[in-house]
Structure 1
Amino acid sequence: MMMEIRSRFKTYQVDFVDSLQSIQQLAAQKETYFVVDRIIYDLYRDVLSILPEQRLFLLEALEEYKTIDTALLICEQLTAMPSKRNTHLVSIGGGIVQDVTGFVATSIYRGIPWTFYPTTLLAACDSCIGGKSSLNYKKFKNLLGTFYPPDVINIYFPFFKTLSNRDYASGLGEVVKFNVIAGQNRFNAIEKDIDLVLAHDYAVLNKYVETSLYFKKTFIEEDEFDQGIRVLLNFAHTFGHAYEVSSHYAIPHGLAVAMGMITANNISVQRGFLTADYAERIERVCNKLLQFIDMDDKWFALDVILNAIHKDKKQIGNSITAVLIKREQTLEVFHNIQETEVELAIKHLLEKRV
């Protein structure tokens, strides 16, 4: 399957590939430079050992390295190559590798060609398209960033077989989110299929990766730079990002989003926007994902969560901004979320968790 996405920068494509032969072809081209998740390099050394050492950067894919310092290290090595604006950056890894290399690709020489191989389900079903790259700065998550999509995204499903249950479930957090905000029919489908997907039924998973990308494509082609409708895709992220920060990233992004959905939906129930029954159904699906992490109550101290929310770049003032599901499954941005509502929602999350 091949999907084309229109960007103001270029039209780029997503390919679902059956092999990694293209990596060998890229390695033979002297203008290519590779940034690879160190764990992926070790797991796939039989394929990736052909990458030339002088054109290879092995990245420790941890939040503490998703910084401008890492990006500058890569830039320094790129400037040593004979090629300049025709340098081709190839990145192989998950969202952290994507963020760092996307920032590099848009910055050096005012933009160079870039190919991305997502190795996590989270990157493949969501972040690989849309062009966002974000770096952490000091205590601020994703404060520095750009918009610049890859030229080509190659999705290779066997990568997902080496994911831990925790990271696999994290990818499904965004899949569930897309199906929740797409409306009741789509949620009914993922509710029915979630056990199959969790059991690694790759035929079913393939369907959900494709539909998630197609769903996101409609938003990013209309609003590439996050000035309008695309902001609705931030549903659950106000609270999800706060849980990531408060746990010092022990809660991975997709599972934090699942927790963010439970939190946001509880506020919708408090406001009479959403029935408790429907919110409970969504919560049951989310809790199937959350079974793969252990949670520490100290991560959910109200003052810690509120402090993380107020530091989030999406906040526009002293009030709390979040996307909520409103009546008839529509989504709306609210700028008047109250701290008392957040407190009740966190209590609900902790009481109901698996």
Structure 2
Amino acid sequence: MIVHASIKDYEVRFEDGFESVAAALTEDAPFVVADRKVYALYPHLFEAVASDTLFLLDAEEEKKVIDSALDICRTMAAMGAKRNARLVSVGGGITQDVTGFAANILYRGIAWTFVPTTLLAACDSCIGGKTSLNFEGYKNLLGTFYPPDRILIVPSFFETLSEADLASGLGEVVKFNVMGGFGALSGLEASVDGLLALDPETVNRFVRRSLEFKKGIIEEDEFDGGRRVLLNFAHTFGHAFEASSSYAIPHGSAVALGMVAADAVSASRGMLSAELRVRIEALVAKIMPPFAPALIDDGAVLSAIMSDKKQTGQGITAVLLDENLELEVVHDMAPAEVALGCVAARRFLEGVRQA
């Protein structure tokens, strides 16, 4: 798959095994950044990487900050990296954000390759070119547009994901297939058990489908000035659930729960039928971990929404779903509707815990 971008076109390759990753880690003597947990799980992949060209990153939300990116730049500069340096990063979305930002600002941009090791990164964030860093308590406040030159997707990495990380990735898969229309929704309903079982063919098919859906939008609106805002479906609530829970609810699961909340608002506005809402919630329930409903606090969620960088005015902007699975951007969601969404999310989580 080739993704066309004004900055540079870049390639997404699906690989059956780890050989291509091992080759990428040594080709042209790159500088390598790896999630420390991935390094511990797959040490054999890094055997040929010189210790002075390997940077291990603790891929935690607290490390998704500019200091981490500057540490990479500092280390590469100290080893004499020049404009023709190449960086390879191996890990999930946090690793991608930190290394993509570093690759962008070092010499105003160096070549880099990304190897996503989580389902969440592979099905969503690996394409689109965004790098996002947290700053002064604000999520994703700093960022750039700078895609990798090449992305290598090896689904075998997903076999060692924790249940929480797998569920987080599946949250984004569900979101994309709800956005994709009734055919995509029906296909996911028929295949969700295969996804949960990590059936290789099913996983590959839905990762490709998610990326192809996103590709169509980002190629039309690369710099997030128009239609790309639709990809924020479920993110107004999702980012707030994530931040207000101190990241106890990880991103993909927060987005899936954000769908439940946003659909409650859509239903209250007469945009979405009870039948379709129940159908979507049944899918989300299959991939949702049993989070404590008390993690959803109305006041904390509203505060997080109001401080989100996506909010540009006094009214609350959100992307809502209608009965035809079409998306509508609204700029007038009221605090009472935020509370309504929180009630729906807590009710949903109570049902998941009792199931």
* Deviation at residue 31 of structure 1 after TM alignment: 4.4
Which of 219, 228, 231 is matched with 2:229 structurally? 231
Aligned counterparts of 2:327 and 2:298: Cα–Cα separation in 1: 25
Within 5 A, what are the aligned runs for 1:65-144? 65-144=63-142
Is 1:303 the counterpart of 2:295? The answer is no
Amino acid at match of 2:339: E
Aligned counterparts of 2:237 and 2:297: Cα–Cα separation in 1: 13
- Deviation digits for residues 181-205 of structure 1, max 9, x if unmatched? 1111211111121122112212111
* Deviation at residue 312 of structure 1 after TM alignment: 0.6
Q: Identify if the C-alpha distance between structure 1 residues 228 and 160 changes in structure 2 by more than 3 Å, giving closer, same or farther.
A: same
Contact 2:13 2:153 in 1 (8 A): yes
**Which stretches in structure 2 are left out of the alignment for 5+ residues?**
none
Is 1:317 the counterpart of 2:319? The answer is no
Moved more, 123-132 or 185-194: 185-194
Aligned counterparts of 2:310 and 2:241: Cα–Cα separation in 1: 15
Within 5 A, what are the aligned runs for 1:168-183? 168-183=166-181
Contact 1:27 1:52 in 2 (8 A): no
Aligned to 1:294: 291
Aligned counterparts of 1:241 and 1:274: Cα–Cα separation in 2: 22
* Deviation at residue 19 of structure 1 after TM alignment: 2.7
Aligned to 2:23: 25
**Which stretches in structure 1 are left out of the alignment for 5+ residues?**
none
Aligned counterparts of 2:76 and 2:29: Cα–Cα separation in 1: 10
* Deviation at residue 27 of structure 1 after TM alignment: 4.1
SS of aligned partner of 1:251: coil
Q: Identify if the C-alpha distance between structure 1 residues 275 and 28 changes in structure 2 by more than 3 Å, giving closer, same or farther.
A: closer
Aligned to 2:57: 59
Contact 1:132 1:146 in 2 (8 A): yes
SS of aligned partner of 1:101: helix
Q: Using the aligned pairs only, state the percent identity.
A: 52
Aligned counterparts of 1:143 and 1:164: Cα–Cα separation in 2: 28
Aligned counterparts of 2:343 and 2:251: Cα–Cα separation in 1: 21
Contact 1:246 1:308 in 2 (8 A): yes
Contact 2:273 2:323 in 1 (8 A): no
Within 5 A, what are the aligned runs for 1:204-223? 204-223=202-221
* Deviation at residue 69 of structure 1 after TM alignment: 0.5
Aligned to 1:278: 276
Runs of 4+ in structure 1 displaced over 6 angstroms? none
Aligned counterparts of 2:177 and 2:25: Cα–Cα separation in 1: 38
Contact 2:14 2:153 in 1 (8 A): yes
Aligned counterparts of 2:345 and 2:141: Cα–Cα separation in 1: 27
SS of aligned partner of 1:245: helix
- Deviation digits for residues 73-92 of structure 1, max 9, x if unmatched? 10001112334111101000
Contact 2:33 2:90 in 1 (8 A): yes
Aligned to 1:35: 33
Aligned to 1:45: 43
Amino acid at match of 2:343: K
Aligned to 2:252: 254
- Deviation digits for residues 237-287 of structure 1, max 9, x if unmatched? 000000000110111110000000000001000000000110111011111
Aligned counterparts of 1:27 and 1:127: Cα–Cα separation in 2: 21
Q: Identify if the C-alpha distance between structure 1 residues 193 and 23 changes in structure 2 by more than 3 Å, giving closer, same or farther.
A: closer
How many residues end up aligned between the 2 structures?
350
Amino acid at match of 1:164: S
SS of aligned partner of 1:92: strand
Which of 339, 343, 349 is matched with 1:343 structurally? 339
Amino acid at match of 2:308: D
Moved more, 335-344 or 304-313: 335-344
- Deviation digits for residues 195-247 of structure 1, max 9, x if unmatched? 22112212111110011111100001000000011110100000000000011
Moved more, 140-149 or 196-205: 196-205
Is 1:4 the counterpart of 2:6? The answer is no
Q: Identify if the C-alpha distance between structure 1 residues 46 and 28 changes in structure 2 by more than 3 Å, giving closer, same or farther.
A: closer
Aligned counterparts of 1:164 and 1:188: Cα–Cα separation in 2: 27
Compute the RMSD of aligned alpha carbons.
1.2
Moved more, 342-351 or 265-274: 342-351
Aligned counterparts of 2:298 and 2:24: Cα–Cα separation in 1: 49
Aligned counterparts of 2:118 and 2:308: Cα–Cα separation in 1: 24
Aligned counterparts of 1:49 and 1:21: Cα–Cα separation in 2: 13
Aligned counterparts of 2:38 and 2:346: Cα–Cα separation in 1: 34
TM-score, with structure 1 as normaliser: 0.96
Is 1:154 the counterpart of 2:113? The answer is no
SS of aligned partner of 1:125: helix
* Deviation at residue 49 of structure 1 after TM alignment: 2.7
Contact 1:71 1:100 in 2 (8 A): yes
